[in-house]
Structure 1
Amino acid sequence: MINHRRIVRALIFSILLPSLVLLGNTSFAQDGKALFQTNCASCHSPFKDITGPALKGVTSRVTDTKLLHEWIHNNQKVLATGNKYFNDLFVKFNKTPMNTFPGLSDGEIDAILKYVETATPPGGGGQTTAVDGKSPESQNQESDNTLLYGILSLILAVIMFVLLQVNSSLKKLSDDKEGIPSSEPVPFWRNKVYISFGILVVFLLFGYCVVQGAIGLGRQQGYQPEQPIFYSHKVHAGINQVSCLYCHSNALDSKHATVPPLNVCMNCHAAINDYTHGPKLYREDGSEVDGTAEINKLYSYTGYDPKTSR
């Protein structure tokens, strides 16, 4: 007798696995960039010297990948070996000790190196899509995948229940052919599993409506004061994949994420002096923002001169 249950399980697995892979692909698309922003951007830029040397071309300057990994894991150990290139580099940058990264795997280091080698310098006429604010362009370009995931999950759930019903019918046919007594399949409107699932869906929808209604009562007023320097979460945490905890370090321990100090901003903006290659920025009133001018405000508040890097 053919094992129909095994066939149905294989069908379900063949449907769910590709879906999970497709949905998960975006999670790894920018690992190198995210790792660079988290571990390296405070001292390095791919394109110019700041606290440390520009990283673009480092794999050409240091062709020994194993040595490069050792340098990133523990640079003091490599310096102790008397390596001329790294010792000269150490002297060139005023003997400023580089942080060690023993926790980075070789694969993560390779992802960072691939990112810095393929990164393109700012200023090359970028996208014109607006972010933040309420401009029509922004509203047209915005995309939220939540609805897509919800529809896909619903479709997969329907497919699963259909396959379960098919499995039940096939089992009955097989039992009848073999002369094995079997009970009649339970109609879906009397099936306890289906009824429980329906009740759960109704409960979730009801809870969602209750929460949305409670929010609409006015307990959340949308408090959003205008900051002295315009800031876009979509550019920083979205496009550039900067970790939220990099700026809001108190978020794990406090009720509030807190506003980061300016020195945290300067960790990256000592190297990033302009905003010319990203999407257009808009304020809430729809007026366009000059990103480079906002970066210059940061310099004026901190007393930093980008020309002398001091």
Structure 2
Amino acid sequence: MKKVPYRNQFSKVFVFSLVVTLLFSVSLVAQDAVAESGDAATTEDSSAPSGDAAAGKALFNQNCAACHALDRKMTGPALANVESRLAEEEGLDKEWLYAWIKNSPGMIKSGDAYANKIYNEFNQAAMTAFPTLTNTDIDNILAYTAAPPPAPATPAAGEAATVTNGAASGGISNEVILGALALVFALLVVMLFLVNNTLRRIAEANGISVEKERAEKRTPIWKAFAQNQFLVLVTVIFLLLGSAYYAYGWMMQIGVDQGYAPIQPIHYSHKIHAGDNKIECKYCHSSARVSKHSGIPAMNVCMNCHKSIYEYKGNPEGPSKEDLANGYTNEFYTNEIKKLYKAVGWDEENQKYTGESQPIEWVRIHNLPDFAYFNHSQHVSVAGVECQTCHGPVEEMEIMYQYSPLTMGWCINCHRETNVKVEGNEYYEKIHAELSKKYGVENLTAAQMGGLECGKCHY
């Protein structure tokens, strides 16, 4: 029997593929075993918090977290192990804590020594009384302050755990799958290459020529095109018209900064403040209600909250994969708060201003030309236009950017399409009545009220 040259090569490739497949399967089994053992170890090592401490955490966050932290002084003292510390250092029992939490001003007026010491130490600002808290509630809060805080997991460690422990997410990691697919693809390429060589040898052995025939010589396309004067003329006309169209479009975009998103000296997330925390836009941009400009909030507006909010703890489930990819971790936001403290001259340790402040050079995003007039108060307070109408979904923006083109045509279209609120608008009550009679329509637009006159925006 004649020996076929491709059998040995095919057998070698088959055996190699089988060995690689077995090794891949063994690695997956080992990975699953390691993940399961890791999960078992985590289950054994983790201790479930007591019910009192869990209930106390909720009560602490609801009533105490605005002025107190467990591990540092804020508006009030640190509360970690407060019950044991007061018992050891001051000889105060839990009954004293009950009385203090429920009626701190009364304790101060009664002349209690330690109550007046705390009162004088913290700028003579009496703690808010909580008479509605029961002794059981206070016991739960004290249990939470006595419980050791869980060790914070860094984002890198959390990400690594997500990648390596495939069993935790119920599947194989993407890197393993991509590696397996790349290996299979490489094997297929090798097999096709060997099969192609084998077929060539068989054909040559049987006297079959496998060389490609030379292509017939043809006239080059560019030469045939150049010889046709009509095609050349039509092509030149289309090129000139297309160039003029794109040149006009490019020139019309000069000064239009839609999508502009500069990097600010301090990262401010509208998504967290306006989205997650539901802070109203006009709380920070208060001048938009009464002034032409919306204004940049003064730093004391930021410090109204950040005197007590000194770190970002994020959502209980942790940062999303998108935030981790962009570097938006809890540590990142906390560092930005530190930049705010440095700018305003806030001493975290002593909870007071040092007087050493630095200007923050914010980068302007929305910038109308000097010859265009726009009044925020007229649109916000009088017309009742929502901020999102012009600025887009601000509550979803991690980095603030210019949402609308802010062009003349965009403003005119809004004036033509927007109905003026006639009922209950005292500012335009008289003119509304006159224009309603004149036009004989129930709904009036800003254009019908003179919103298209040149002098409205250019003067």
TM-score range relative to shorter protein: 0.3 to 0.5
TM-score (norm 1): 0.44
Structure showing greater radius of gyration is: 2
